[in-house]
Amino acid sequence: MRAMIQLHRQFWFWPLLLIAGLWLALLALPPLAGVKAVYLDTDKLIFLLVSGVLLLAGYIRSREHLRGPWQHIFRQRRAMIALVVLLFFIVCGLLDSVHFRKPLPSQGVTQQRYSVKVLSLLDILLDDMRRNVEKTYSAPLATHLFAKETVTLENGDVERRYVRLKYGGRDLTDPASQKWPNIRDLATRGVVVGAIIWLVLSAGLTAIFARRQRQPVAVMAKRVYRGDTDIPWRSIYLSLLLMLILLAVLLTLSTEYHVLGTDKVGQDVLYQSIKSIRTGLVIGTLTTLVMLPFAIVLGVMAGYFRSWVDDVIQYLYTTLSSIPGVLLIAAAILSIQVYIANHPALFETALDRADLRLLALCVILGITSWTTLCRLLRGETLKLREMEYIQAATALGVGQFTILGRHVLPNVMHIVLIIVVLDFSSLVLAEAVLSYIGVGVDPSTLSWGNMINGARLELARDPVVWWSLVAAFCLMFSLVLAANLFADAVRDAFDPRLREQG
Amino acid sequence: MFAYIIRRVLYAIPILIGVNLLTFALFFVVNSPEDMARMHLGEKRVTEQAIEKWKQNRGYDKPLLYNVQAEGVQVLTDTIFFTKSVRLFVLDFGSADDGRNIGQDILQRMWPSLAIAIPVFIVGLLVNITFALLLAFFRATYIDIWGVIGCVILMSISTLFYIIGGQYLIGKTLQLVPISGYDFGLNSFKFLVLPVLVGIIGGIGAGTRWYRTIFLEEINRDYVRTARAKGLSELRVLFRHVLKNAMIPILTGAVVVIPLLFMGSLLTESFFAIPGLGAYTIEAIQAQDFAIVRAMVFLGSVMYIVGLVLTDISYTLVDPRIRLN
């Protein structure tokens, strides 16, 4: 009985409860909602990763010495603001990773059929944007198409003029005079909604922290207001407010307008750039997930066992790193393309095919990028194995693999973490470049690289179609910048050599 | 030293064999030449003859590793592995899908690549080191902090946007130089300015930050304190002592890339329509011309290994303590 009561004190208790809840929801909710769940390979890996991160977070919380560096990070204002921004991206990516197929209207007695179109939760949230497809280009917040079109009038005359959009500002009778007041009204509504959500959220959070620190809520709120807290809550709340207002304004405006215009086939650019978040995140995170086991096992083994093991592993990574990365990726992706082209039967939907290519890209990027980490881990292990505590363990007759697992591995994990966080942003950037070259994600996958690629030639038009590029730039830039700033904080906190200088 | 270089070159051979086997596996084992032919010719409705002809044209109609029908040495030499992969070692790259000789093409196209890569490399290095020294001089002040944040911001912008932005701003709006294109001889200058400029600016963020860390690492050493204690001015300390001692880590990063310079930059060349090796590679990738990609992969790894040897040699030049033997 006592053991039962103590159970919730174990570090894995709450994370496991959360993970179990998450998986149960993923398995049970789609049938309840009457849709057919679709679990793509990348979806599975993403939720595996989320579960892993939750468990790890629980473990770190329970260990004093592991908590230290993280507390150092949480006290830095810049890192926390970056984290708030990153959180918004992560939530978008996660919502976009829950896929399902909607039921088709049933025709009589036959069994329930499902639409071939795979949607995600994010699609449901952005339903307006997804469906309001115009004919072709339209500028941000426009009410008319971007270029003049030849229209046949009722009396048979032919005229060239700007055609009204189907959805952009559709309720306006006189766009010229009503558009801006209408936009102002919508934006104001967005600001108010955003502020209300923020108020509820921040009040709730403050109340929780007040309870935890056993202080009256008013005192806690005053401390936050004055910036008198260890963790820079004031900055966190402020950035949260800004992000929420931005999001709410974008969403309210997009019910009646195309906030960032439409592209060549009339798709909403804002929708495309938000959907691209998942692609970027998948490439940034799954790549490291794929490469980590190899890099850690091989790197630590090379450093610890020396002799022929070291030679073989060194040969392996020198060979791989001697091939220019882009070319190796290109070669591998070309091979995959041939494979996909010759085995059309393997894939049920186009999304399956695109997903395989995305996963393949992650694996290949992982293969080209594990060498750096492997080399670093080898070097660190070489240093560690000469340390006295490891020699003591050897002298005491501790098994070699136990030494590796208990004494070496925990002491190189900070390098792993630093590299993982640092690699993230360069991987997101790499995706765009690779997609541009034509060896990135599938052309049907929405990604920033594909958006740039599609929009690039339109710069030559006059007047310029700039919005696709600007949208891709803004989202990619904010994700990468936030990731870079956060990564810097992580490196400062975990790399003792650098912290001394700070 | 000579013996050392010989040994390094010998050491490079197994690596090149590894690269060779890897590309061979990627291009011929994972997907048979038959698969490639099918894809090139348009998947389903392809006749056997068309495939055979495609393979014959490119010399892919031989067995992979071992030719049973041939006699003598030809058992091994009259195979895809020998004709397509082993021949790379003597820099015989064969011919591309359109029948042109790849070796010839490479010789011709390396000059435009070098014309861009060398100025970007040299000027970029100087600019980055200058900025880094500046930040190191003002270390732990607001100039330094904001400088580093500026670097992070510059690093967070994709190369694609530097190129597109440069083309749009300088080429289209200001109309100072042509947006893209290339000409040989002195005429090429006006075409080269913009790509070089974009290349330098695109590298400032990462470069400056990297060199700044190197300088800061040196600045905390004992000899620097001694130099300051002697009463040397901070500028003198930086240039005479820190810069000289930081040369080793700087060289590690810089010399390795020198041989790779001639491979050109994929993005820059393709955006600015410069007929260099980078554009060549991209065209090959987009046309799925496997012969060229294979040649460039091999060439790239040769250059990388040359870079490693050069790095070692350059160490002896800047640091008399290091002897290669």
Phi, psi of A158 (to 5 degrees): -110, 135
Residue B309 domain flag? no
The residue type at A203? A
- Does residue A425 contact residue B156 with C-beta atoms inside 8 Å? yes
Q: Is the peptide bond before A463 cis (omega within 30 degrees of 0)?
A: yes
Residue B197: give the domain boundaries.
Answer: 116-286
Contacts of A486 (CB under 8 A, 6+ apart): A79, A82, A83, A86, A421
Q: What is the pLDDT of residues B287-300, one digit of tens each?
A: 777 788 888 888 88
Are B35 and B81 in a shared domain?
yes
Residue A501 confidence (pLDDT): 37
Residue B209 domain flag? yes
Among the candidates B90, B106, B140, a domain finishes at B90
Are B261 and B134 in a shared domain?
yes
Residue B154 confidence (pLDDT): 92
- Does residue A120 contact residue A97 with C-beta atoms inside 8 Å? yes
Are B73 and B174 in a shared domain?
no
Could you tell me the pLDDT band of residue A328, with boundaries at 50, 70 and 90? Answer: confident
Are B123 and B76 in a shared domain?
no
pLDDT above 70 for A109: no
Phi, psi of B19 (to 5 degrees): -60, -45
pLDDT above 90 for A243: yes
Q: Which of residues 156-195 of B touch A (CB under 8 A)?
A: 156-161, 164, 167-168, 172
Distance from the Cα of B293 to chain A's closest Cα (Å) equals 7
pLDDT above 90 for A195: yes
Q: What is the pLDDT of residues B220-270, one digit of tens each?
A: 888 888 988 988 888 888 888 888 888 888 887 788 888 888 777 888 888
Among the candidates B90, B106, B135, a domain finishes at B90
Between chains, do B296 and A327 touch, taking CB under 8 Å as contact?
yes
| Separation of alpha carbons A154 and B116, rounded Å | 59
Tell me whether strands A114-120 and A149-152 are parallel, antiparallel or unpaired.
Answer: unpaired
Q: What is the pLDDT of residues B113-152, one digit of tens each?
A: 888 889 999 999 999 999 999 998 888 889 988 999 999 9
Are B18 and B166 in a shared domain?
no
Residue A11 confidence (pLDDT): 77
| Separation of alpha carbons A364 and A362, rounded Å | 5
Alpha-carbon distances of A415 from A378, A380, A411, B212, B305, rounded to whole Å? 11, 9, 9, 21, 27
Are B235 and B122 in a shared domain?
yes
Higher-pLDDT residue of B127 and A172 is: B127
Look-up: residue for tokens 């997903």?
Answer: A355
**C-alpha distance across the termini of chain A, in Å:** 51
| Separation of alpha carbons B173 and B192, rounded Å | 18
Q: What is the pLDDT of residues A417-440, one digit of tens each?
A: 888 888 898 899 988 888 888 788
What would the mean pLDDT of B27-46 be, rounded to a whole number?
A: 70
CA dihedral A393, A395, A398, A404 (to 10 degrees): 50
Residue B294 domain flag? no
What would the mean pLDDT of A149-153 be, rounded to a whole number?
A: 78
- Does residue A182 contact residue A168 with C-beta atoms inside 8 Å? no
Strand partners for A159? A151
| Separation of alpha carbons A241 and A199, rounded Å | 9
Between chains, do B27 and A331 touch, taking CB under 8 Å as contact?
yes
Could you tell me the pLDDT band of residue A239, with boundaries at 50, 70 and 90? Answer: very high
Residue A255 confidence (pLDDT): 84
- Does residue A99 contact residue A80 with C-beta atoms inside 8 Å? no
pTM of the model: 0.88
Q: Which of residues 272-301 of B touch A (CB under 8 A)?
A: 281-282, 285-286, 288, 290, 293-294, 296-297, 300-301
Q: What is the pLDDT of residues A438-458, one digit of tens each?
A: 788 888 888 898 888 888 777
Contacts of A470 (CB under 8 A, 6+ apart): A260
CATH code at B150?
A: 1.10.3720.10
Q: What is the pLDDT of residues A367-394, one digit of tens each?
A: 888 888 898 888 888 888 888 888 888 8
Q: Which of A323, A339, A425 sits opposite B19 (nearest CB)?
A: A323
Q: How many CB atoms lie within 10 A of CB B18?
A: 18
Residue B49 domain flag? yes
Look-up: residue for tokens 């071939």?
Answer: A116
Helix axes A233-253, A77-95, angle to 10 degrees: 40
Are B188 and B261 in a shared domain?
yes
Residue B325 confidence (pLDDT): 57
Interface residues from chain A to B (CB-CB < 8 Å): 315, 318-324, 326-328, 330-332, 334-335, 337-339, 341-342, 425, 429, 432-433, 436-439, 452, 456, 459, 464, 469, 473, 476-477, 480-481, 484-485, 488, 498, 500-501
Alpha-carbon distances of A3 from A8, A63, A430, B1, rounded to whole Å? 10, 21, 50, 69
Q: Searching chain A, which residue's CA lies closest to the CA of residue B44?
A: A342
Both tokens of B24, joined, read 């061979």
Per the prediction, chain B carries an average pLDDT of 81
- Does residue A85 contact residue A92 with C-beta atoms inside 8 Å? no
Could you tell me the pLDDT band of residue A499, with boundaries at 50, 70 and 90? Answer: very low
* Sign of the CA dihedral running B192, B196, B199, B201: negative
Are B86 and B147 in a shared domain?
no
Radius of gyration over every alpha carbon of chain B, rounded to an integer in angstroms: 25
Between chains, do A501 and B266 touch, taking CB under 8 Å as contact?
no
Residue B325 domain flag? no
Residue B55 confidence (pLDDT): 72
Are B191 and B61 in a shared domain?
no
The residue type at A237? Y
What would the mean pLDDT of A15-40 be, rounded to a whole number?
A: 85
Residue B43 confidence (pLDDT): 59
Are B207 and B65 in a shared domain?
no
Does B42 touch chain A if contact means CB atoms closer than 8 Å?
A: no
Residue B75 domain flag? yes
Query: The complex's ipTM?
Result: 0.84
Alpha-carbon distances of A490 from A75, A87, A267, A408, A498, rounded to whole Å? 12, 16, 39, 21, 11
- Does residue A96 contact residue A278 with C-beta atoms inside 8 Å? yes
Radius of gyration over every alpha carbon of chain A, rounded to an integer in angstroms: 26
List b or e across A158-188, with b for residues whose CB sees 16 or more CB atoms inside 10 angstroms.
eeeeebebebbbeebeebeeebeebbeebbe
- SS3 assignment, position A97: coil
Residue A113 confidence (pLDDT): 76
Number of structural domains in chain B: 2
Phi, psi of A12 (to 5 degrees): -85, -5
Per the prediction, chain A carries an average pLDDT of 84
Instruction: Please give the distance of CA A433 from its chain centroid, rounded to a whole number.
Output: 18
pLDDT above 80 for B32: no
Are B136 and B272 in a shared domain?
yes
Alpha-carbon distances of A462 from A160, A458, A459, rounded to whole Å? 18, 9, 8
Between chains, do B152 and A488 touch, taking CB under 8 Å as contact?
yes
Residue B172 domain flag? yes
Are B136 and B70 in a shared domain?
no
Most confident segment among A31-45, A137-151, B82-96: A31-45
Q: Report chain A residues whose CB lies below 8 A from the CB of B155.
A: 425, 480, 484
Helix axes B2-24, A307-322, angle to 10 degrees: 70
Instruction: Find, among A103, A128, A131, A127, the residue nearest to A116 by Cα.
Output: A103
Could you tell me the pLDDT band of residue A87, with boundaries at 50, 70 and 90? Answer: very high
Among the candidates B90, B125, B148, a domain finishes at B90
Residue A82 confidence (pLDDT): 93
Of A342, A368, A458, A479, which to mutate for an interface test with B (greatest number of B Cβ within 10 Å)? A342
pLDDT above 90 for A321: no
pLDDT above 80 for A406: yes
Could you tell me the pLDDT band of residue B75, with boundaries at 50, 70 and 90? Answer: low
Q: What is the pLDDT of residues A127-142, one digit of tens each?
A: 888 888 887 888 888 7
Residue B292 domain flag? no
Could you tell me the pLDDT band of residue A502, with boundaries at 50, 70 and 90? Answer: very low
